[in-house]
Amino acid sequence: MNLEKVIFGFFIILALTLNFGFVLGEIDNPAHHNVYELFAAIVVNLVATLLKFGDRTQTGALLLATSLVAILQLFAAAVVWGYAVNISATGLDAMMMASIVSLAAGAMIANVISVVLLIADTIVLRR
């Protein structure tokens, strides 16, 4: 067992599960989506992205690209949340919450692609 690969896989899968936990619920109901869960998803995605910088293979480049997409979408969701809470006159309404969850769902798809690539790479290494 390679501890580096365990840590790498741990953060990739944790990023997906945290993002899934945030997205789960009614899309326009702010009570179903916790800001701290979005923050945790951003931090874990940042760590997973940093871990992917060392891999120089083609699969590593794809993993890095998917992580960058996820980070970009999660940051956009955080910016929309910050705008809704601190600047917008309407506050965090259903339309803003739907936008935030939609952006996080896009990041979740990028996380799913990362996990699929990781599993495919692991299967290829076994053969």
Question: 58-116, pLDDT tens digit by residue?
Answer: 989 999 999 999 999 999 999 999 999 999 999 999 999 999 999 999 999 999 999 99
Question: 19-28, pLDDT tens digit by residue?
Answer: 999 999 999 9
Compute the Cα dihedral for 82, 31, 77, 69 and give only its sign: positive
Greater model confidence, 39 or 4: 39
Number of folded domains in the chain? 1
Q: How confident is the model at residue 56 (pLDDT cuts 50, 70, 90)?
A: confident
Predicted confidence at residue 42, as pLDDT, reads 97
| Cβ–Cβ under 8 Å, residues 71 and 110 | no
Q: How many Å apart are CA 63 and CA 16, to the nearest integer? A: 13
- Answer whether residue 39 shows pLDDT above 90: yes
Region at 25 (left for phi over 0; alpha for psi -120 to 50; beta for the rest): left
Mean pLDDT of the chain: 93
- Answer whether residue 36 shows pLDDT above 70: yes
Predicted confidence at residue 124, as pLDDT, reads 87
- Answer whether residue 126 shows pLDDT above 70: no
- pTM (2 d.p.): 0.91
| Mean pLDDT confidence for 40-47 | 96
Q: Which domain holds residue 118?
A: 3-125
Predicted confidence at residue 2, as pLDDT, reads 85
Q: How many Å apart are CA 104 and CA 31, to the nearest integer? A: 16
Q: Which residues contact 9 (CB under 8 A, 6 or more apart)?
A: 118
